[in-house]
């Protein structure tokens, strides 16, 4: 529900794992595990995002609406 509530009309959102964990009062590992489970069941697609300097940014999530 968290990602669904934050997704735009196309089902895209990009909160950081740390942000999700903080707002839901969960550990980062619990959030990562939940994202993996949602990917495996086809409810979510995750895409890595990168900064211009080559550093990793937050993931882009595509939620099945």
* CA nearest to 39, candidates 65, 63, 14, 16: 63
Give me the CATH number covering residue 23.
Answer: 1.10.10.10
CA 65 to CA 52: how far, in whole Å? Answer: 30
Range of the domain at 6: 2-63
Number of structural domains the chain divides into: 1
User: pLDDT 10s digit of each residue in the chain, 65 long?
Assistant: 899 999 999 999 999 999 999 999 999 999 999 999 999 999 999 999 999 998 988 899 999 97
Confidence (pTM): 0.84
């Amino acid at each position: 529900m968290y990602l669904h509530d934050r997704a735009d009309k196309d089902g895209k959102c990009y909160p950081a794992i740390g942000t999700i964990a903080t707002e839901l009062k969960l550990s980062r590992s619990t959030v990562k595990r939940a994202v993996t489970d949602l990917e495996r069941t086809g409810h979510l697609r995750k895409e890595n995002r990168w900064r211009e300097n080559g550093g990793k940014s937050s993931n882009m999530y595509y939620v099945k609406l």
